[in-house]
A and B are shown apart, each in its own frame.
Chain A
Amino acid sequence: MSSTAPLTLPRWFRGLLVLAIIYLFLVGVSSLESGIKVMGADTQERLFSSVSNPIVGLFIGVVGTVLVQSSSASTSLIVGLVASGALGLDQAVPMIMGANIGTTVTNTLVSLGHVRQSQEFRRALSAATVHDFFNLMAVTILLPFELLTGRISWLASRTAEILTGSGGSEWKSPIKAWVKHPVGWLKDGLKQASLEETSLGVSMVVIGIIVVVVSLIAVTKNMKALIAERLEASMNRVLGRGGGLVAMVIGMLVTISVQSSSITTSILIPMAAAGVISLRNIYPVTLGANVGTTITALLAALAASGSDALTIALVHTWFNVLGIVVLYGIPFLRPLPIRCAELLAELAVKRRSLAVGWVVSVFVIIPLLVIAIFR
Chain B
Amino acid sequence: MVLSFFKKGESPLDRISHETVLMLGDARHSFDLASTALLAGADASAVSSDIRATDDRINAAEQRLRSELVVHIAVHGGDDIGVVMGYTLLLKKIERIGDQAKNILDLAEDGISLSGAPDIEDFLTRRQTISQMYVDAADILVSLDVDSARQFLDRSMEMNRECEQKIHDYMRSDEPGHWAVPRAVLHRYWKRIVANLAGIVTSAIEPIQSLDYTDDGSTDIVDD
Contacts and interface: CB of A to CB of B under 8 A. Distances in A.
B71 A232 contact: yes
Interface in A60-74: none
Nearest to A253: B5
A246 B2 contact: yes
A276 B76 contact: no
A133 to B, nearest CB: 22
A276 to B, nearest CB: 4
Contacts of A1: 17, 83, 86-87, 90, 141, 144, 203-204
A267 interface: yes
B180 to A, nearest CB: 41
Interface centre among A228, A241, A246, A253 (most CB of B within 10 A): A228
Contacts of A254: 5
A239 B71 contact: yes
A26 interface: no
A271 B74 contact: yes
B74 A235 contact: yes
A229 B8 CA distance: 9
B96 to A, nearest CB: 18
Interface in B202-216: 203-204
Interface centre among A1, A228, A236, A253 (most CB of B within 10 A): A1
B177 interface: no
A1 B79 CA distance: 13
A292 to B, nearest CB: 12
Given A228-B76, A232-B75, A271 B5 contact: no
B83 A2 contact: yes
Contacts of B5: 230, 233-234, 250, 253-254
Contacts of A241: 1
B2 A270 contact: no
Nearest to B66: A276
Nearest to A267: B74
Interface in A263-287: 267-271, 274, 276-277
B72 interface: yes
Interface in A234-255: 234-237, 239-241, 246, 249-250, 253-254
- The interface residues of chain B, by DSSP majority, are classed as helix
B68 A236 contact: yes
A276 B141 CA distance: 26
Nearest to B75: A232
Contacts of B120: none
Given A270-B73, A276-B67, A229 B12 contact: yes
Interface in A1-17: 1-3, 6
A276 B9 CA distance: 23
Nearest to B68: A236
Nearest to B146: A2
A233 B9 CA distance: 9
Contacts of B56: none
Interface in B1-46: 1-2, 4-6, 8-9, 11-12, 17
Contacts of A270: 70, 73-74
A371 interface: no
A236 B82 contact: no
A183 interface: no
B83 A253 contact: no
A309 interface: no
A344 to B, nearest CB: 22
B80 interface: yes
Contact of A236 (B12, B76, B87, B204): B12
Given A1-B86, A1-B144, A232-B72, A250 B2 contact: yes
Nearest to B86: A1
B1 A237 contact: yes
Nearest to B82: A3
A228 B80 CA distance: 13
A2 B144 contact: yes
A245 to B, nearest CB: 9
B75 A3 contact: no
A233 B12 contact: yes
A271 B4 CA distance: 22
Contacts of B76: 228, 232
A3 B67 contact: no
Given A3-B79, A229-B12, A236-B12, 5 more contacts: A237-B4, A239-B64, A254-B5, A274-B70, A276-B66
Q: Please provide the 9 A-B residue pairs with the shortest distance between their CB atoms, ordered closest to farther.
A: A276-B67, A270-B74, A274-B70, A232-B75, A232-B12, A3-B83, A276-B70, A235-B71, A249-B2
6 contacts: A1-B90, A229-B11, A237-B4, A250-B2, A253-B2, A267-B75
